[in-house]
Amino acid sequence: MSHTLVHILNNDCPHCLKGKVFNEKNIFLNIGFPKMNQYCPHCQFKFEKEPGYFFGAMYVNYGLTVAQGIATYLIAQQFFTERFDLRIIAIIAVVIVSMASFNIRLSRLLWIYMFKNYSI
């Protein structure tokens, strides 16, 4: 399991573990919509199985965003004296917007790895 997480964070192909899913060198610090390879440059594994394949990754992205929002709230409330301060909403919004590009990439990688054929 830990090896799978390392391969996901390294942007590795789920089939050969040598090629890259996204064109970018570093998936963490890019701004804008991701540019995916259609096929793995090493083993020619097709990443998008069918049209609309990554619609399910939107649900993964939503889960990541909600988890980040809750974690941000729990951390930010420690710095305010009132139980709920409206400034926390702005902090949560900044974190969610700044993490959006990373979440898109991570959710697609997680989606590809969830439906990888593990019987090989």
72-109 tens-digit pLDDT: 999 999 888 877 788 899 999 999 999 988 898 899 99
Task: Assign 119 a pLDDT band (cuts: 50, 70, 90).
Answer: low
Q: Give the pLDDT mean for 23-36.
A: 74
Q: Would you state the structure tokens that stand for residue 23, as one six-digit string?
A: 């064109």
Task: Assign 11 a pLDDT band (cuts: 50, 70, 90).
Answer: confident
pLDDT given at position 118? 64
Using CA atoms, how far apart are residues 120 and 114, in angstroms rounded to an integer? 14
Residue 60 main-chain phi, psi, to 5 deg:
-65, -45
Percent of the chain exceeding pLDDT 90 equals 26
Using CA atoms, how far apart are residues 74 and 26, in angstroms rounded to an integer? 29
Alpha helix segments (H runs only) across the chain: 2-9, 57-76, 87-114
pLDDT above 70: residue 110: yes
